[in-house]
């Protein structure tokens, strides 16, 4: 392309589909949208497949409830989170996940509504673990605070555990009555993370003792699935929950399938003019910017970090929050670079399942094609810094200091990798907004996505 033509494309501010396109192939605009859709389909396909593997592990555990099979079920849950976490960038836009996200990944969990809990006045207060209202029929759909060990779905044996019951999730005004999705399964498998080897409830200052425990995360005893009261109902809950999870994920996957007339992907990738493309690119950038700053930096990190709140970490039962952070951030960069490497099935931090990997055309390619090389470079710098910081969170967690230890008051400093990641995510969101501003797309970082001021991570939201 000659310089005159390039200048015309940019100054027109429409960035015409013909700019930088190959007359024998799709335009730059079309390649960007196609790749974004390809990555979505790949991540949701891997999410479905790993959920099915989780179902198999839970079925084996039900048939033979041994410690080894419980560990295998936990591992299957952890693996199932690897592709799903990378898909969360497709939220905050009108995409298929929005219809079922509350049933798939809503949190914090109202765990007292599902099974027995321990309550204290620090990490596990009644308003944290309980619910103000529910639609599951427990305590006449009223308050459940964990004070009565059997006042929950598992304990009230006349409550039928089926798909219809689990559909009554996140129905209260505060949406805290979550009983479905990944985190409901997580709670049933791990139980509360009480931190100490003596099974005493944490007082908020003893989480570092978890480093010396035989296993990190919750301490649900195997007997809850064998000889303790209602063991059969816990297996039944897990069975129903994973089946519902698979159905919900398959619904989202179908929306992104190529070649299906009228589905979401067909609508998303069909553009007839610059306005169509600008709208779709705005949606992509909105998902990237809002997840970076409001959701991940704010809701999922700063709320827990600033208040030393174990209950507000994303995967508080399994101590897998370090992976949630990594994967959410990786999903944003996947959209920027137009690639999806697959997922980690061995828990070593390396993506080894690559059958659905995508190596396509990203926003960085588009920016360079329309002559905005410096903008692409500055955004890359922001993504690189975020990756450096969340990798440090992951490294510490793997070395024995999970997220709930990293946010303890003694560790809450400006040099904490949690603090640094929050700040770099905020800068990353600004870089994403800079892209939108340069392309005349308006605001793409939702101001009301969080009440946190992510430039100052130690300030409570």
pLDDT of amino acid 14: 42
> Which secondary structure element, helix H or strand E, spans residue 340, and what is its range?
strand 339-340
What phi and psi values does residue 216 have, to the nearest 5 degrees? -85, 165
Instruction: Report whether pLDDT(9) > 50.
Output: no
**Contact by Cβ (8 Å): 110, 176:** yes
Q: Hey, what domains does the chain have and what are their CATH numbers?
A: 28-95+272-449 (1.20.1420.20)
pLDDT of amino acid 17: 41
pLDDT of amino acid 219: 84
Residue 361 — pLDDT band, cuts 50, 70, 90?
very high
Average pLDDT over residues 7-23: 42
pLDDT of amino acid 11: 37
pLDDT of amino acid 13: 38
Residue 49 — pLDDT band, cuts 50, 70, 90?
very high
pLDDT of amino acid 212: 46
Distance from C-alpha of 82 to C-alpha of 79, rounded to nearest angstrom: 5
- Could you report the per-residue pLDDT of 198-232, keeping only the tens digit for each? 545 566 676 776 554 445 688 899 999 999 999 99
What phi and psi values does residue 250 have, to the nearest 5 degrees? -65, -35
**Contact by Cβ (8 Å): 345, 82:** yes
Please provide the DSSP assignment of 73-131 as one string. HHHHHHHHHHHHHHHGGG-SSSSGGGGTHHHHT--S--GGGTS-----SSTT-HHHHSB
**Contact by Cβ (8 Å): 13, 440:** yes
Distance from C-alpha of 380 to C-alpha of 232, rounded to nearest angstrom: 51
- Could you report the per-residue pLDDT of 97-144, keeping only the tens digit for each? 999 999 999 988 999 999 999 888 777 888 889 999 999 999 999 999
Q: What is the dihedral of CA 148, 126, 397, 212, to 10 degrees?
A: -50
Instruction: Report whether pLDDT(23) > 80.
Output: no
Tokens 């592990």 locate to 57
State percent of the chain over pLDDT 90: 79
Distance from C-alpha of 77 to C-alpha of 429, rounded to nearest angstrom: 30
Instruction: Report whether pLDDT(191) > 70.
Output: yes
Average pLDDT over residues 424-440: 97
């Amino acid at each position: 392309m000659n310089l005159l033509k390039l200048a015309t494309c940019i100054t027109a501010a429409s960035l015409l589909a013909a700019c930088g396109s190959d007359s024998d192939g799709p335009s730059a605009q079309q390649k960007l949208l196609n790749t974004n859709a390809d990555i979505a389909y790949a991540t949701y396909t891997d999410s479905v497949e790993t959920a099915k593997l989780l179902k198999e592990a839970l079925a084996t555990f039900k048939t033979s409830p041994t410690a080894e099979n419980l560990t295998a079920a936990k591992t299957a849950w952890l693996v199932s989170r690897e592709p799903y976490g990378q898909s969360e960038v497709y939220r905050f836009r009108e995409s298929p996940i929005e219809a079922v996200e509350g049933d798939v990944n809503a949190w914090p969990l109202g765990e007292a509504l599902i099974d027995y809990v321990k309550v204290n006045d620090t990490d596990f207060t009644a308003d944290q673990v309980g619910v103000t209202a529910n639609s599951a029929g427990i305590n006449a759909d009223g308050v459940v605070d964990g004070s009565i060990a059997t006042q929950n779905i598992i304990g009230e044996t006349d409550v039928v555990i089926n798909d219809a019951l689990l559909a009554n999730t996140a129905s209260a005004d505060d949406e805290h009555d979550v009983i479905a999705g990944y985190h409901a399964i997580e709670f049933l498998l791990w139980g509360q993370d009480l931190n100490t080897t003596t099974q005493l409830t944490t007082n908020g200052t003893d989480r570092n003792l978890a480093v010396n425990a035989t296993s990190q995360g919750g301490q649900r005893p195997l007997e809850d699935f064998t000889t303790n009261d209602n063991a059969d109902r816990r297996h039944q809950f897990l069975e129903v929950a994973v089946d519902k999870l698979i159905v919900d994920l398959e619904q989202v996957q179908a929306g992104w399938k190529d070649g299906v007339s009228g589905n979401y992907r067909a609508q998303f990738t069909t553009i007839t003019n610059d306005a169509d493309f600008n709208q779709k690119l705005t949606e992509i950038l909105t998902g990237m910017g809002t997840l970076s700053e409001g959701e991940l930096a704010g809701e999922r990190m700063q709320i827990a970090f600033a208040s030393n709140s174990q209950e507000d970490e994303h995967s508080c039962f399994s101590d897998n929050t370090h992976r949630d952070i990594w994967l959410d951030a990786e999903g944003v960069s996947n959209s920027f670079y137009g690639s999806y490497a697959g997922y980690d099935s061995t828990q070593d931090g390396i993506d080894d399942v690559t059958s659905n990997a995508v190596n396509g055309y990203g926003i960085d390619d588009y920016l360079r094609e329309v002559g905005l090389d410096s903008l692409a470079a500055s955004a890359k710098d922001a993504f690189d810094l975020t990756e450096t910081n969340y990798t440090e969170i992951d490294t510490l967690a793997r070395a024995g200091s999970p997220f709930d230890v990293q946010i303890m008051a003694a560790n809450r400093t400006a040099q904490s990798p949690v603090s640094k990641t929050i700040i770099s995510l905020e800068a990353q969101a600004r870089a994403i907004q800079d892209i939108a501003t340069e392309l005349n797309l308006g605001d793409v970082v939702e101001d009301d996505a969080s009440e946190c001021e992510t430039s100052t991570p130690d300030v409570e939201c």
